[in-house]
Structure 1
Amino acid sequence: MSLINVTNLTFAYESSYDPIFENVSFQIDTDWKLGFTGRNGRGKTTFLNLLQGKYEYSGNISSAVSFDYFPYHVEHKEYLTLDVIEEIYPEYVHWQIVRELNLLKVSEDVLYRPYASLSNGEQTKVMLAALFTKENRFLLIDEPTNHLDMHARKSVSDYLNKKSGYILVSHDRAFLDDCVDHILSINKTNIEIQKGNFSAWWENKKRQDQFELASDEKLRKDIKRLTDSAKRTGNWSHEVEKTKNGTRNSGSKVDKGYIGHKAAKMMKRSKNLEQRQQSAIEEKSKLLKNIESSESLAISQLEYHKKQLAELENISISYGSKTVCENVSFTIEQGERIALSGKNGSGKSSILKLICGEDLQYTGHLSRDRQLKISYVSQDTSHLRGSLSDYATSSGIDESLFKSILRKLDFSRLQFEKDISTYSGGQKKKVLIAKSLSEQAHLHIWDEPLNFIDVISRMQIEELLLEYAPTILFVEHDRAFCENVATKIVELEGIQEA
């Protein structure tokens, strides 16, 4: 056991006036399984980069262990997996790698296949196996669940539960609960560490918020009283200044020397009082700032003239000679929230694209009216660039509504001024979701909408779907989200290799 000590850490990017961290201090035990949470843009990945020494900062970070980052950047994906492992860890021992792969339920034969031919889940597991065989290392695991199906997430969480000595960034509540024993959270005004899994931390967080909210009314009354008093003091100072003009309201002359001396004393006194009042206002205001804003979202779907919006009968989809799914049948009826489930590669995204009208090679029967309006959220965010205003205009949506939704999803006013291409992965996904919520549609189709999105925003979106009960077909591997939201689950089996 050893400690990672963070003392008075302060860091800001060169292009920003606002610090990401300011005089932050805490300790991490290197035996912990540490979950790392916080809203998008709060600095989770930045902190991992600071641990690795990638940026200059003020303060001090000391540790007796070295850090390894996941995902490791693989330069030559065309190499055999065994060669990629050697690149990650040149001193690896073969039997140790095989042991780790067995724990991750991965066959040894992946070692002799090109790394590029492995699925996302297999690549994630191979990388974790290589990194965990290293000695005296503390792993910085940054969102390993993105694009992993539920089966892969379960095997990875089971594996991590048997390990220790890592920071895990994840927004999947169930995943965190399965494999962490402490939570490091970046809040609005501080960073704190608590013992327990995510659910325990969240319950504590809600209790703290309730306590703050109970004090909220009194604090706001105190702030208003102090603000009004500060205004009166300011007006008093202003009136004293006016006496220097040398006349009273009556128009009679006054002793300017006497008034000047009196005004100077009163001005000094009023300024001191004003400063004390302002300090008191700021101190009391700080007490209100740590409650995470998670205002309710809204969705307004168009009414459709039929109960049934679409029907698929024995659909099989192919890309050239490769069939990705076959004999898929289900209906979409108004008010249903359908989760399309299955392993990666089972054709889920292809089914969504087919319903959206994409020209795919398929057999079977798809029934869908031409006048059905669909709002689609894709997995891909690489096309996002330019200003939010231009994006709203080109998308044909109301800019005020679009930005209002983003504000509720924790976008700052400063974020509105930046190019979308500079946003984090989670912020880009929020742009797509805000666009979808701003569109007039009969049916919403979302393909892995929660990738990279912080857990509080996930809960907001979950509450939205439960409250407004829109008709939606979605693919999502967040187990808690699916269990809470879906009214129907359609399981795709995928194609069995001969």
Structure 2
Amino acid sequence: MSNYKKCVLVISHDRYFLDKITNKTLEIENCECKLYNGNYSAYLKQKAVDREIQQRHYEQQQKEIARLEAFIEQQRRWNRERNIIAAESRQKAIERMEKIDAPKNLPEKVRMKFKSGIASGNDVLFAEGLGKEYPGKPLFKDVNFTIRKKERVFILGPNGCGKSTLLKILTGKIESFKGSFRYGYNVTLGYYDQEQEELNPNNTLIDEVWSANEDLSQTEIRNVLAMFLFKGEDVLKPVSTLSGGEKSRISLIKLMLSEANLLILDEPTNHLDINSREVLESSLEDYDGTLLIVSHDRYFIDKLATRIIELGETSCIDYNGNYTEFHEYKSKLNLSTGNESKSVKMTSSKMEHIATKEEKAKRRKLEKQLSETEKEINSTEARIKEIEEQMTQEEIISDHVKLMELHNELNELNSKLEGLYELWDELMSQSNE
């Protein structure tokens, strides 16, 4: 589609796809439309900048209006002819102003926080020789892996290769399979089913959540439902009347309240809008347990994955890293780029050699990023110091316009410096791993 020469209008929640394909983004929010240049990531940055500028201009204008109104009030108290004329002049100046509105409130987002009730052992899940086939249709065979505490593992593979089936085997939904698996010490399991089969369509929302959490009061259940934007009479709706996205949110509520230390999620971003996907990503990123996830959302995988297992009909690839790193790694393994469906067949020694080279390349890249970040921190700090010195000079203090320009630049540089410090901390943490 990126090579298509004509106009394309796309509606999608797939942020990775939008970043690859689009060069303009039309946002519909608060009953208004606004067109941004650039793909999804560029739109997010520009929207944040626009809101910050609008908020700053609004605050500056409100300050000026307050100053003029105070002047008007003072002149009216003195109540001489020249004072009244001055007050009327300032009042007309206020009326002539083109009023700037404060940025409108952003749409309300869901709120969620996943945490484990008890800690598991270091070894969470062992799978040995797992396989599944239906008459005339083999899915996968000889799948072996060990998942350890706090890993975030994603299962990838083409449609129909058995990813969801594997999760159903591991959660006991499918009993007929080859091989074996077992859970480690103190593992408590939470499962998200993309088909929402575990929801009772005859229950109301409040009863559906309450039935799995009978120790909570009605007020506590209502408060949790409100976190997921189910408020007032909405909680009395039957589950059968809900949309796909609303059913997903109910399943996530039940999962969150379970306080499991191993979450097995089958396509959790299906039916969720972009805002809800981003909230889910952040909450899973902060989760203190272990994750095993099937997803087609490449943006979601890139954000969370620490390890990827790709299923194949005869073998699987087990890789430590996120989606982008895995994609690059697999491209190097695939010598025949013209045949994307060709199975990856490499000796373990060659795969280990390539993985070592990848690790060294990542280390060099990290060191370069650290060096560049430190240089940028130094130059930003130097500019901040320079501006602070300028703002103490008499000629600058008396120049209101120049002083405001320096003040705005100083605010922007301080925000930038804060982001650079956070980036430096993150890079240092990675380099010490």
Q: Paired residue for 2:37?
A: 195
Residue 173 of structure 1, aligned match among 15, 19, 27: 15
Give the counterpart letter for 2:212 in structure 1: S
Cross-structure match for 2:261: 442
| Distance in 2 between residues matched to 1:371 and 1:467, nearest whole Å | 21
In structure 2, distance between residues paired with 1:487 and 1:457: 22
Give SS of 2:9's match. Answer: strand
Distance 1:309 1:207, change over 3 A: same
Conservation of the 8 A alpha-carbon contact between 1:342 and 1:348: yes
Q: Of 333, 346, 356, which aligns to 2:161?
A: 346
Q: Which residue is equivalent to 1:381? A: 196
Q: Greater strand percent: which structure?
A: 1
The CA distance in 1 between the partners of 2:220 and 2:55, in whole Å, is 28
Contact 1:343 1:494 in 2 (8 A): no
1:457 aligns with: 276
* 2:208 corresponds to: 391
Task: Read off the aligned partner of 1:436 and give its amino acid letter.
Answer: L
Within 5 Å, give how 1:144-223 maps onto structure 2: 159=1, 162=4, 164-211=6-53
| Alignment CA distance shift 1:367-1:425 (3 Å) | same
Q: Which whole-Å deviations, capped at 9, do the CAs of 1:55-89 have from their partners, x for residues lacking one?
A: xxxxxxxxxxxxxxxxxxxxxxxxxxxxxxxxxxx
1:234-290, CA deviations, whole angstroms, 9 ceiling, x for partnerless residues?
Answer: xxxxxxxxxxxxxxxxxxxxxxxxxxxxxxxxxxxxxxxxxxxxxxxxxx9x84643
Moved more, 193-202 or 375-384: 375-384
Q: Does 1:425 align with 2:267?
A: no
Residues in 2 aligned to 1:214 and 1:291: alpha-carbon distance in whole angstroms = 17
Is residue 334 of structure 1 aligned with residue 149 of structure 2? Answer: yes
State the one-letter code of the partner of 1:428: K
Alpha-carbon separation, structure 2, partners of 1:161 and 1:175 = 14
1:493 maps to 312
Give the deviation of 1:402 after TM superposition.
Answer: 5.6
Distance 2:31 2:299 in 1: 28
Matched residues in 1 for 2:24 and 2:221: separation?
36
Structure 1 distance, partners of 2:62, 2:257, is: 34
- Any residues of structure 2 matched to 1:288-307 within 5 Å, and which? 289-294=104-109, 297-307=112-122
Q: Distance in 1 between matches of 2:180 and 2:241?
A: 42
Displacement of 1:449: 0.5
Structure 1 residues 335 and 309: alpha-carbon distance in aligned structure 2, compared to 1, 3 A threshold? same
Once the two structures are TM-superposed, the CA of residue 298 in structure 1 deviates from its matched residue by 1.3
TM superposition shift of 1:407: 3.8
> Aligned runs of 1:243-258 on 2, under 5 Å?
none
Structure-2 change in CA distance of 1:164 and 1:470 (3 Å): farther
Superposed, 1:48-63 pairs within 5 Å as none
> Which SS does the other structure have where 1:468 is aligned?
coil
In structure 2, C-alpha distance between the alignment counterparts of 1:204 and 1:467, rounded to whole Å: 27
Specify the code of the residue in structure 1 equivalent to 2:112: L
Decide whether the 8 Å contact of 1:335 with 1:469 is kept in 2.
yes
Residues 354 and 213 from structure 1, CA distance in 2 versus in 1: closer, same or farther, beyond 3 angstroms? farther
Q: Tell me the amino acid that sits aligned with residue 480 of structure 1.
A: Y
- Looking at structure 1, the residues matched to 245 and 52 of structure 2 have their Cα atoms a distance apart, in angstroms, of 27
C-alpha change, 1:307 and 1:442, in structure 2 (3 Å) is same
Aligned residue type for 1:466: E
**Aligned pairs (5 A) from 1:6-25:** none
Equivalent residue number for residue 297 of structure 2: 478
2:171 matched to 1:356?
yes
Structure-2 change in CA distance of 1:394 and 1:182 (3 Å): same
Deviation at 1:329, TM superposition (A): 1.0
Deviation at 1:423, TM superposition (A): 2.9
Count of matched residue positions in the alignment of Structure 1 and Structure 2: 278
| Preserved contact between residue 337 and residue 469 of structure 1 (Cα < 8 Å) | no
Q: What's the CA shift string for 1:279-330, capped at 9, x where partnerless?
A: xxxxx9x846432344753112132452111100121123345331111111
Q: Which residue of 1 aligns with 2:79?
A: none
Extract unaligned runs of 5+ from structure 2.
64-98, 316-340, 342-433
| 2:17 aligned partner, one-letter code | F
Q: Deviations over 1:9-66 (max 9, x none)?
A: xxxxxxxxxxxxxxxxxxxxxxxxxxxxxxxxxxxxxxxxxxxxxxxxxxxxxxxxxx
Identity fraction in percent? 29
User: How far has the Cα of 1:344 moved from its partner?
Assistant: 1.1
Q: Which residue of 1 aligns with 2:422?
A: none
- With normalisation by structure 1, the TM-score equals 0.49
State the shift of 1:436 in Å: 0.8
- CA displacement at 1:168 relative to structure 2: 1.8
Moved more, 480-489 or 372-381: 372-381
Secondary structure of the 1:445 match is strand
* Secondary structure at the counterpart of residue 10 of structure 2: strand
- Closer, same or farther: CA 193–326 of 1 in aligned 2, 3 Å: same
Contact 1:311 1:368 (C-alpha < 8 Å) held by counterparts = yes
RMSD in angstroms over aligned alpha carbons? 3.5
SS in 1 for 2:129: strand
Shift of 1:480: 1.3
SS of structure 1 residue aligned to 2:177: strand
Cα distance change of structure 1 residues 495 and 196 upon mapping to structure 2, 3 Å threshold: same
